[in-house]
């Protein structure tokens, strides 16, 4: 029973992210709202957004569009992503490092 409900919610999350992606170019404010809805939905239903967590800003909920509202730098095997809307940095380690 639980699995069925999870599947539905995951489907909704995916759909909302598709909407956010579509709106991110023309109406970033609406995209932000979609991301906010997804985060709320995931929190309420205890679902991890692991797959999508690098697609939006964790501070201002902006949907990331490479080359438009984010700046990506790679140094010493670490990736740092800067949100150009609020200035929030998120950093993570590259798997396997740079060769
Ligand atoms: Zn931000």
Q: Residue 85 Cα, ligand 1 centroid: separation in angstroms?
A: 5
Ligand 1 centroid to residue 63 C-alpha, Å: 9
Question: Two tokens at 31?
Answer: 């995209």
- Taking only the tens place, the pLDDT of each residue in 23-80 is 998 999 999 999 999 999 999 999 999 889 899 999 999 999 988 999 999 988 899 9
Structural domain contains residue 99: no
Q: Which pLDDT does position 3 carry in this prediction?
A: 82
The reported pTM is: 0.84
Residue 98 belongs to some domain of the structure: no
Q: In the prediction, which pLDDT does 76 show?
A: 87
How high is the pLDDT of residue 97?
57
Q: How many domains does the chain have?
A: 1
Closest CA to 56 of 96, 79, 86: 86
Question: How far, in Å, from the CA of 90 to the mean position of ligand 1?
Answer: 10
CA of 3 to the centre of ligand 1 (A): 33
Q: How far is the CA of 30 from the centre of ligand 1 (A)?
A: 14
Domain of residue 34, residue span: 2-93
d(CA 23, CA 75): 31
């Amino acid at each position: 029973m639980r699995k069925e409900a999870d599947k539905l919610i995951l489907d909704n999350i995916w759909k909302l992210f598709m909407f956010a992606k579509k709106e991110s170019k023309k109406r970033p404010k609406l995209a932000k709202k979609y991301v906010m809805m997804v985060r709320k939905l995931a929190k309420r239903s205890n679902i991890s957004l692991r797959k999508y967590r690098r697609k939006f800003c964790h501070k201002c909920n902006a949907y990331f569009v490479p080359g438009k509202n984010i700046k990506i730098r790679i140094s010493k095997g670490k990736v740092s992503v800067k949100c150009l809307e609020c200035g929030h940095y998120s950093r993570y380690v590259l798997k396997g490092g740079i060769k």
